[in-house]
Structure 1
Amino acid sequence: MGTVTTTGAYGPWGIVAGGSDGVGVAFAHGMAARGINVVLVARRVPVLESAAAEIRARHGVEVRTVALDLGAPDALAELAGATAELEIGLFVYNAGADVRSVAFLDRDLDTHLSLVQRNCAAVLEAAHRFGAPMVARGRGGLVLVTSGAAWAGGATLATYGATKAFDLILAESLWAEWRGSGVDVLGLVLGRTDTPSHRRLLDAEGTASAGGQVYEGLADPTDIAEEALAHLADGPTWIHGSENPTGGSPFGALNRRDSVLAMSRGAAGSS
């Protein structure tokens, strides 16, 4: 099982959507360490350029940056245009975190729709625009980063969980379609992870460790990226931190109602 990510296996260039910090930049470092040139995509230009400079200095690969809001309807068309001359062999879609869990009606409709655009429509468009050339070439890799919120519905997780379930099913379906084509597809399921956005959430809610100590119980982004890159060929699904990472829902034999109630308790306990 598993594969070593190389330019021979996937191609000379990779894209990380949501690649300026956290899990995204960890993927970019992992790809660059394996000799893959990287395109970093994110909204915040200073953070994006800082990440790019560090990757160039550490790994000696080419790094390009594309400043985009992936929630904009034309974002993926713009990204495709900006990278048209590159052979993109590996695409990691990592954008779409929800930094605050709130009741469905306590968030305005435009915010919900923006999350659906970023986590569903843009992901689908990325898979279609960048996956088609991979399938035609007979090599490539696609990683869709999803969440444990995809396993069942839960209070305060309505739109976020629904979008992440979309990503999970999309990844598994594309794996089933492309598994004989030379293109690896992985739906990467994450739990609570030590990212800047998650730390900001914990700090805002007063639940972080006092005095800037280690944020206990949060997965390390580098560990996540390295594990995913090592197991890109072991799709359709990889559950980071699970004793059975290729297994099913952690809710196991629970019926749907009890799973939803358990997810709701978990959301309440983490907020």
Structure 2
Amino acid sequence: MTDKYGPWGIVAGGSDGVGAAFAEAMAARGINLVLVARRVPLLESAADVIRRRYGVQVRTVPLDLATDDAPVELADATADLEIGLLVYNAGSDDSTADFLDREPADHLRLVRRNCVSALETVHHFGAPMALRGRGGVILVTSGAAWAGGATRATYGATKAFGLVLAESLWAEWRAHGVDVLALVLGRTDTPSLHRLLGDEDQPLGGLADPVEAAEEALTHLGDGPTWISGSADPAGASPVGALSRRDAVLAMNPR
């Protein structure tokens, strides 16, 4: 794993949930880590746990990836490192509302974090991977990317951007030895989902395990372009792919 994807990996959104699961799984494989997240205490706590458990080097970079300067700050903070694996997982939305009930600035923050910063970050770290002829990129996206959904318009649109971006880069970079994977998650047991549903203290049934999702993605990183976590046919078509676009949207919006 370190020969192909080391010696350093970045996990954007690496302080909890799926990102923390990726960080632990990568550290268990011997990859040194750069963890990126907004909340400093949670970020430092996650880094300390990984250092104690796995003995790898961990660098923390406190950043809000929805800001204009975040990709440049991340590039500067890692300029002395050889990054062989990038996991861009910083794309959740902790609230849900009809499109007009949210301010344009809220929508634009999602676009900045999930589209603009993702693109700039992948471009910066992907270029040296392609030159070296090895490396990997995982863009964590969502089942919300399959079709439009009420109350999730901008979130779903940004996740569709990530899905198509990853698939396109897989087509371009596989000849350069760089593996790219779009990891499509369904409802996953993360703090972000619990905040969205307003039930932080109550267990939810039927949710995917973030540890299993991260392990699955790393195991199948070379099986791109797309991996649908938890699916009976994870490398297959969209679950609404056989439907017309209208019927797919209606299937995503039962109300």
Q: Give the Cα–Cα distance (whole angstroms) in 1 for the partners of residues 111 and 11 of structure 2.
A: 19
Aligned to 1:173: 168
1:132 paired to 2:121: no
Structure 2's unaligned 5+ residue stretches are: none
- Paired position in structure 2 for 1:61: 56
Q: Find 1:221's aligned residue among 186, 199, 210.
A: 210
Q: Deviations over 1:222-267 (max 9, x none)?
A: 00000000000000000001110011110132100011111112xx
TM-score w.r.t. length of structure 1: 0.92
Partner SS, residue 222 of structure 2: coil
Which residue in 2 is equivalent to 1:258?
247
**Matched-pair contact (CA < 8 Å) for 1:156–1:264:** no
Higher relative contact order (CA 8 A, sep 6+): 1
Partner of 2:143: 148
Per-residue CA deviations over 1:45-85 (Å, capped at 9, x if unaligned) read 00000000000000000001000000001101000000001
Distance 2:145 2:103 in 1: 22
Spell out, residue by residue over 1:12-58, the C-alpha distance to the aligned partner (whole angstroms, 9 max, x if none): 00000000000001000000000000000000000000000000000
The residue number in structure 1 matching 2:72 is 77
Unaligned runs of at least 5 residues, structure 1: 1-5
Segment drifting more, 252-261 vs 115-124: 252-261
CA distance in 2, matches of 1:22, 1:263: 24
2:16, 2:46 within 8 Å by CA — same for their partners in 1?
A: yes
Aligned to 1:3: none
Match of 2:14, as an amino acid?
G
Measure, in 2, the Cα distance between the counterparts of 1:85 and 1:114: 29
Count the aligned residue pairs: 255
Residues of 1 paired with 2:192 and 2:5: CA distance?
Answer: 30
Cα distance in 1, alignment partners of residues 235 and 95 from structure 2: 29
- Corresponding position: 1:248 with 2:240: no
Measured in 1, the distance between the counterparts of 2:148 and 2:193 equals 21
Match in the other structure for 1:95:
90
Partner in structure 2 of residue 17 of structure 1? 12
Residue 213 of structure 1: CA displacement?
5.6
Question: After alignment, is 92-101 or 162-171 more displaced?
Answer: 92-101
- Cα-Cα RMSD: 1.1
Alignment deviations for residues 167-226 of structure 1 (CA, whole Å, 9 cap, x no partner): 000000000000111100000000001001111222x2x6x8xxx564211111100000
Distance in 1 between residues matched to 2:57 and 2:110, nearest whole Å: 31
The percentage of counterpart residues that share the same residue type is: 71
Contact 2:96 2:196 in 1 (8 A): no
